[in-house]
Amino acid sequence: MDAIKPPKTLSEQTHDILLNAICSGEFEPGQRLNQDEIAARLQVSRQPVNSAISVLKASGFVEDTGRRGVVVSQISVDQFLSIFELRSALEPFAIRLAHQRKPVDAAKQAQDMLKRGWNAVASKDVSLQINLDYEFHEMIYGWAGNPAIRDTMRTNWNHIRRSMGVVLRRGVASKTSWEEHDRIIAALMRSDVELAEDEMRQHIERAQEKTAALLSEC
């Protein structure tokens, strides 16, 4: 029997809500975070808000102004590119590990995942597409059996989400993205690691190019 977990604290809930607001684009880069205002809106005292902001500051989603309070961090194109550069090394590596360690029901998981992805593309629901894109990659990290890779990418993903939202909202088709996911899985299931790694590398590079072009526009 599982132990009963205590429910999330107000501080944690506040953190999650703020993080999501930032990553979904609801709070724009540069926007000031006023503790009183947030506390009032969430119907809590300033204490959990202050605590949540400390965590956000430590993970780089907000930054000190040097003056009063914090603002949502800017999405710098350089930072974005550096994350994709990191991914271009890590994700093919994860594919290699996944090939060695993937569970027996990997094919089944993959089919399910891809199906949900294509449904999202059909539905034109942008935020669902972003979430499923992450879920796809996290599935691979899971197969790779390396928690350090998963944690690293989880943090970076939130930074990417902020940029992706901008891009996808501008109507860039995520159809090609899921075609690439299809091919990655196909190669992996055929145990053609070299090809799977290469498809992944290209997938990342294409996503980077598409996004960077749009980011530098605005």
Partner DNA sequence: TTTCTGAATTTCGTATACGAAATACAAGAA
Partner DNA sequence: TTCTTGTATTTCGTATACGAAATTCAGAAA
Report how far Cα 119 is from the mean position of its chain's Cα atoms: 19
Q: Is 151 exposed, middle or buried (0-12, 13-18, 19+ CB in 10 A)?
A: exposed
- Please list every residue from 97 through 136 that binds DNA, using CB under 7 A: none
- Binder among 11, 73, 129, 211 for DNA (CB under 7 A): 11
Q: How many CB atoms lie within 10 A of CB 154?
A: 12
Answer yes or no whether residue 45 interacts with DNA by CB under 7 A.
yes
Contact with a copy of itself (CB under 8 A): which of 82, 100, 111, 123? 82
Quick check: 9 binds DNA (CB under 7 A)?
yes
DSSP-based three-state secondary structure for 63: strand
What does the alpha-carbon distance between residue 131 and residue 111 come to, in Å, rounded to a whole number?
17
Identify residue 213 by its one-letter amino acid code.
A
Q: Which residues bind a copy of itself (CB under 8 A)?
A: 3, 5-6, 11, 15, 47, 50-52, 54-55, 58-60, 64, 66, 78-79, 82-83, 85-86, 89-90, 93, 97, 145-149, 151-152, 156
Q: Which residues bind DNA (CB under 7 A)?
A: 6, 9-11, 33-36, 44-48, 50-51, 53, 67-69
